[in-house]
């Protein structure tokens, strides 16, 4: 195949295109085609026998918005239907994102995986294999300042320490196991939120440094740490 110029009005977007593009990436694509349209000769829009796009839907959309009258294209009509479908998946662009709903409903899942599509979240039956919702715990201070000894449960720690002390291990081994035993303290994070809300600045600062409380006013708290309420944000200043 070799690229040729053709009227943009003759090319049709693919209604089954499984790629999406986000606004900010589309703006980047627009600017790229505005300033470097000549590069499309090296990476033209590929069409089938009906002039429907096999590769380059986002570029076609951008060229239409830029009001270009002609675009570079290549003819993929000599490919089999299977080859054309394979090309759509393998023609991985830098700007778009997968429309997983379209892929799940319009594409063969086994073929997608055979063609090397990584991270596809559906199995061969179209069932979702993963969950993308990781909900961080939310602790809202609602009570008065708790007593420190009510925040921590040390039952397992004490049991382990007793067994370690009664063992016949050498002191070096015992000291190591004692340090490890402290991992089994159980914290009541609801009460920790109450303690934080009712503590002085120095205590709050050290609690944050200990990762007992994490506050970020610019984004949500990640990886299972505590997300504080607006009330705490105001208290903290």
pLDDT digits (tens, 9 = 90+) for 104-149: 777 787 777 666 565 555 554 545 554 444 444 566 677 889 998 8
pLDDT for the residue numbered 125: 52
Q: How would residue 220 be classed by pLDDT, with cut points 50, 70 and 90?
A: very low
**Mean pLDDT computed over 46-50:** 95
Q: What percent of the chain has pLDDT over 70?
A: 75
- Name the percent of the chain lying above pLDDT 90: 35
Q: For residues 7 and 70, is the Cβ–Cβ distance under 8 A?
A: yes
| Averaged pLDDT for residues 16-26 | 83
Question: What confidence tens digit (pLDDT) does each residue in 139-194 have?
Answer: 667 788 999 889 888 889 999 999 999 999 999 999 999 999 998 888 888 888 88
Quickly state the pLDDT bin for 7 (edges 50, 70, 90): very high
203 against 105, higher pLDDT: 203
Confidence of residue 90 (pLDDT cuts 50, 70, 90): confident
The pLDDT of residue 221 is above 70: no
Instruction: Check residue 175 and give its pLDDT.
Output: 94
Mean pLDDT within 199-208: 88
Question: Would you state the pLDDT for residue 224?
Answer: 41
More confident residue, 224 or 47: 47
Confidence of residue 83 (pLDDT cuts 50, 70, 90): very high
Q: Where are the domains of the chain?
A: 4-114, 148-236
Average pLDDT, the chain: 79
CATH code assigned to 4-114: 3.90.1530
Question: Residue range 13-37: average pLDDT?
Answer: 86
For the residues 40-68, what does the mean pLDDT come to? 93
């Amino acid at each position: 195949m070799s690229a040729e110029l053709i009227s943009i009005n003759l090319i049709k977007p693919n209604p089954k295109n499984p790629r999406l593009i986000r606004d900010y990436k589309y703006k980047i694509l627009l600017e790229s085609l505005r300033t470097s349209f000549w590069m499309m000769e090296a990476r033209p829009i590929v069409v089938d026998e009906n002039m429907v796009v096999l590769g380059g839907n986002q570029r076609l959309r951008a060229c239409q918005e830029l009001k270009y009258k002609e675009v570079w294209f290549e003819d993929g009509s000599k490919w089999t239907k299977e080859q054309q479908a394979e090309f759509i998946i393998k023609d991985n662009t830098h700007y778009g994102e997968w429309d997983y709903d379209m892929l799940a409903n319009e594409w063969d899942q086994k073929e997608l995986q055979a063609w090397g599509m990584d991270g596809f979240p559906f199995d061969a039956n179209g069932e979702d294999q993963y969950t993308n919702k990781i909900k961080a715990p939310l602790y809202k201070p609602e009570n008065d300042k708790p007593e420190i000894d009510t925040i921590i449960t040390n039952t397992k720690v004490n049991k382990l320490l007793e067994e370690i002390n009664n063992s016949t291990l050498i002191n070096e081994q015992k000291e190591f196991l004692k340090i490890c035993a402290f991992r089994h303290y159980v914290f009541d994070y609801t009460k920790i939120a109450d303690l934080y809300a009712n503590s002085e600045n120095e205590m709050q600062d050290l609690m944050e440094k200990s990762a007992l409380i994490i506050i970020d006013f610019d984004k949500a708290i990640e990886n299972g740490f505590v997300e504080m309420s607006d009330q705490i944000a105001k208290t903290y200043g």
